[in-house]
Amino acid sequence: MPLVEVTIMEGRPREKKDAMMKEVAEAVNRTLDAPMETIRVVIREVPPSHWSVGGVPKG
């Protein structure tokens, strides 16, 4: 059972996250020959105030 965890900053629309989960599952299915019903995709959303790039907070 493949489990893919994706961490992103909060704020993206539900439709975008749904599309990403579908495409990630399809990529795992295609590359690992894993049946779709066994693939799990988890999104972890982080508030911008808890995210930094190069030490500079994004929120």
Query: pTM for this one?
Result: 0.87
Q: Given this model, what pLDDT does residue 58 score?
A: 87
Give me the domains of the chain, ranges plus CATH numbers.
Answer: 3-57 (3.30.429.10)
Q: Given this model, what pLDDT does residue 13 score?
A: 98
Cβ(33)–Cβ(43) below 8 Å? no
Ranges of residues in the chain with a pLDDT under 70 are none
Q: Given this model, what pLDDT does residue 23 score?
A: 98
Rounded to a whole number of angstroms, the distance between the first and last alpha carbons of the chain is: 36
Q: Given this model, what pLDDT does residue 33 score?
A: 98
DSSP string for residues in the chain: --EEEEEEETT--HHHHHHHHHHHHHHHHHHH---GGG-EEEEEEE-GGG-EETTEE--
Provide the annotated active-site residues. 2
